[in-house]
Amino acid sequence: MMDVRVTHPLFVLRHGQTEWNLDGRLQGRRDSPLTALGRAQAEQQRGLLRQVAADHPNLKIYCSPLGRARQTAEIATAGLGLAFEVDARLQEVSAGAWEGLTRDEVRLRLNNADLGEFEMFTNAPEGESFNALYDRCAVFLAELSGPTAVVTHGITGSVLRGILLRLSVDEMEHLPREQGRIYAVSGGQEVLI
């Protein structure tokens, strides 16, 4: 796996809560709309992003092309004079044939196998492997040239953070993935703001 070292801060925003988050469904590359809470979480991120941008005037913002992330980015940057650029490398890992299924439905298909989140997403039929996800995240990070904020997804965001924190796959899987907050990663340390 690619060794990535970034000397500037990365700010990771997970999209707001969606209808499928509430249902416990695997979204992957498919989409469902933000809930009222999800829109409120994106508004909360706007307040946090305002301070991040004030502290880092050269801040660049990138966003996943998926609807839930784009809607979050639009809300979080509204009125701040900040633009964001869409980058496909920030989209969620593909869960292939399991997208749209609940976690319980996936477990039933696998004879009640006890799968963690990463295993469930990265071992789906016709889905994306962990190595492919890691590689696209590592290439994205290696190309950054200054303070950057990204609006992305739970698993992709965990891998981005995990690469910079130099974590194992198991440690990445157990990172918190809160919505409505910002994870600031700099100098091998992470702070939740």
Domains along the sequence of the chain with CATH: 10-24+34-93+132-192 (3.40.50.1240)
Q: What is the pLDDT of residues 110-126, one digit of tens each?
A: 887 777 888 888 989 99
**63, containing H or E segment:** strand 60-63
Q: Is the pTM of this model over 0.85?
A: yes
Q: Could you give the angle at the alpha carbon of 132 between the alpha carbons of 126 and 134, nearest 5°?
A: 135
At 89 the pLDDT is 98
Q: With contact defined as beta carbons under 8 Å apart, do 148 and 140 qualify?
A: no
Q: What are phi and psi of 186, to 5 degrees?
A: -155, 135
Q: What is the pLDDT of residues 124-166, one digit of tens each?
A: 999 999 999 999 999 999 999 999 999 999 999 999 999 999 9
At 7 the pLDDT is 81
At 18 the pLDDT is 98
Active site residues: 15, 92
Q: What is the pLDDT of residues 48-98, one digit of tens each?
A: 999 999 999 999 999 999 999 999 999 999 999 999 999 999 999 999 999
* Collapsed DSSP state (helix, strand, coil) of residue 132: helix
Contacts 24+ apart (CB under 8 A), 74-83: 75/16, 75/39, 75/42, 75/43, 75/45, 75/46, 76/13, 76/42, 76/43, 76/45, 76/46, 76/49, 76/151, 77/46, 77/49, 78/46, 79/46, 80/46, 80/49, 80/50, 80/53, 82/49, 82/53
* Collapsed DSSP state (helix, strand, coil) of residue 149: strand
pLDDT band of residue 182 (cuts 50, 70, 90) is very high
At 114 the pLDDT is 79
